[in-house]
Amino acid sequence: MKMLEINNLHVDVDGKRILNGLNLTIEAGSVHAIMGPNGSGKSTLANVLAGKPGYEIVDGEIFFDGDLLNDAEPEQRAQQGLFLAFQYPVEIPGVSNMEFLKASLDNLHAARGDSQPNAVEFMKSVRSIAADLDLNPEFLKRGVNEGFSGGEKKRNEILQLLLLQPRLAVLDETDSGLDIDALQVVAEGVNRYRSENNAILMITHYQRLLNHIVPDVVHVLAEGEIVKSGGRELAQQLEARGYAWLTE
């Protein structure tokens, strides 16, 4: 079943064309990796999927579970099950992580017409996920990302992923800034999320992430469009040869 379908997507940022006729289809149960040189439009793709202001779709369509997403508000997309793990998660001082997670879950439940999560169960599951990610329970009381190290911020994104259980997870350079041990923990978290019912779109610079989270499909993005797609081995080729041979 097609979960995400992107047709001929053209996107401008500050009047400059960044995505230039991108096509991509993702099925439920699959993991796709997007690689590509700096400035090829990888993060733009992640942001435009999530509906970040300032990213203008000038042509093309994005369908998510059959619904046209082009003009949907970011929170509507989230409520439909689209999740973005941020490359640079921002801080919200004074709003505790726990409070933020509760607000998020409550709103997602409300939007789907589900009953509100039980507060005790909620606390339990948050604590258990935090423990799996080697996060000290104290960190749940701190402000959202406030004073977190780079690694803690990334693990916090994965905590949200595991708690909110979206349909589609877009991971924007989740591996950047992580040491080997942290990368392992994050990858284990993502693998735990992985299932037949959901899908993952990983954006990364490095093949090393793909050793831990093994993709079904690898795409190469260059100058705003996908120039090559293949299996896992494509990533290894890129590691050995770089990107130049694909764009020549």
Q: What radius of gyration, in Å, describes the C-alpha atoms of the chain? A: 18
Considering the complex, state which of residue 63 and residue 100 has its C-beta at the smaller distance from another protein: 100
Nearer to another protein, 59 or 73 (CB): 73
| Closer residue to another protein (CB): 101 or 190 | 101
Q: How far is CA 227 from CA 20, 23, 220, 241, in A?
A: 11, 10, 6, 15
Write each residue from 97 to 126 as x if it is in contact with another protein (CB under 8 A), else as -, in one continuous string: --xx--xx--xx-xx---------------
Q: Which of 118, 119, 152 is nearest to 134 (CA)?
A: 152
> Degrees (nearest 5) of the Cα angle 108, 44, 11?
105
Q: Smallest distance, Å, CB 54 to another protein? A: 8
d(CA 39, CA 54): 17
| Distance between CA atoms of residues 43 and 224, nearest Å | 11
**Residue 159 CB, nearest approach to another protein (Å):** 12
Kindly identify the residues of this chain, within the stretch 159-178, that bind another protein according to CB under 8 A: 160, 164
Contact call for residue 28 and another protein (CB under 8 A): no
Task: Report the amino acid identity of residue 239.
Answer: E
Which stretch in 23-31, 96-104, 185-193, 201-209 sits in contact with another protein by CB under 8 A?
Answer: 96-104
Nearer to another protein, 64 or 83 (CB): 83
Q: What's the min distance (Å) between Cβ of 112 and another protein? A: 10
**CA separation for the pair 234, 217 (Å, rounded):** 9
Pick the binder of another protein from 35, 64, 86, 219 (CB under 8 A).
Answer: 86
CB 133 within 8 A of CB 46: no
Residue in this structure with the two tokens 């941020």, named with its chain if needed? 86
Would you count residue 237 as binding another protein (CB under 8 A)? no
Q: Which residues contact 123 (CB under 8 A, 6 or more apart)?
A: 98
Does 149 engage in binding with another protein (CB under 8 A)? no
**How far from 178 is each of 11, 42, 167, CA to CA, in Å?**
30, 19, 25
20 binds another protein (CB under 8 A): no
3-state DSSP call for residue 54? coil
- Name which of residues 38 to 57 contact another protein (CB under 8 A): 50-53
Binding stretches for another protein (CB under 8 A): 50-53, 73-75, 77-79, 83-84, 86, 89-96, 99-100, 103-104, 107-108, 110-111, 143-144, 160, 164
